[in-house]
Amino acid sequence: MNKSKAMGNLYASSAFVLWGFLPLYWKALGHVPALEILAHRIWWSFVFVMVIILFMKRKLQLFIDRLKNFRRNGKEFFLIATASIAISGNWLVFIWAVNSGKVIEASLGMYITPLISILFGVVLFKERLRAGQSLSILLALLGVCLITVKYGNIPWVALSLALTSGVYSFAKKCIQLDALVAMGYETLMVTPFAFIYLLILQLNGTGSFGASAQLSVLLIGAGIVTALPLIWFAEGTKRISLVTVGVFQYLSPSIAFFVGLLIFKEPVSMTQWVSFILIWAAITIYTLFSRPAGQGLKKEDCSRSRLI
């Protein structure tokens, strides 16, 4: 494994590990309305990223140059806009699911998401799978199907979460731009809406920010814990295949599973246990066949994919 792929594995796995532990962070903000948390995540992510860019002369210059170049490079603007809309939509659907008592269906979406990434990798980018890798994906699919059948209905919330996350992965794979600069543009596109919403809350006296020093720090930190894994994720997807990214994505729901089981003491059905074991068996098998049969995505491959 070359250095670039090793760094890609480190970036991607770090992102998904942090995402897996994020329920602990949102639990500390449980008394704040979910939509307000979302707005703070967007706003403080933008502030966090832009502060870093402002203190890095090369990235600031790149940010300005690319901004001027958007008129001539509509494809790049389209990809960044797609990433921004996809991740914002993903957060919105998840918040709605939590507020509507559909947490189980939302968690199902976390398990379907890697299958979407793998599907995009194979269909759009012609990434090839070894026999062992194909077996691992079949086992993971079986685990997801067990949960779906147990759920009993078409899980449109789960599918929406998986599709928006898959589209985000696709867009980030094709954006040949510094991850931090790209993140700055992504947050810039939705920040005005978040800022206006937060301003209205504060003017009406219903905003949570400023209620206490601890709460304010947690709300500001929401932006940091949101931006960091997204930056790591972007750096990872540029270095490794979408198939590998898809398998790494099982880390998040698996960690969240143990957080719910061991810390939040949530009950787990026999079907969930069986599905969980199948998914981890899939990850183990994939690891044994970790050397990809196909090459990673090249810059010119995006222009030949079926979505661009």
Mean pLDDT for 138-163 is 79
Question: Among 140, 93, 108, which Cα is nearest to 269's?
Answer: 108
Residue boundaries of the structural domains of the chain:
3-304
Place 203 in a pLDDT band, splitting at 50, 70 and 90: very high
* DSSP category for residue 233: H
Contact predicate 163/93, CB 8 Å: no
Highest mean pLDDT among 55-64, 123-132, 250-259, 262-271: 55-64
pLDDT over 80 (residue 151): no
pLDDT score, position 138: 85
Contact predicate 158/116, CB 8 Å: no
- Give pTM, 2 decimals: 0.77
Place 98 in a pLDDT band, splitting at 50, 70 and 90: low
Question: Among 161, 166, 182, 305, which Cα is nearest to 235's?
Answer: 182
pLDDT digits (tens, 9 = 90+) for 211-263: 899 999 999 999 999 889 888 887 887 788 877 776 787 788 778 778 878 88
More confident residue, 259 or 292: 259
Separation between Cα atoms, residue 21 and residue 82, nearest integer Å: 26
Q: In the predicted model, what is the mean pLDDT of the chain?
A: 80
**What angle do the packed helices 213-237 and 34-54 form, to 10 degrees?**
70
Place 101 in a pLDDT band, splitting at 50, 70 and 90: low
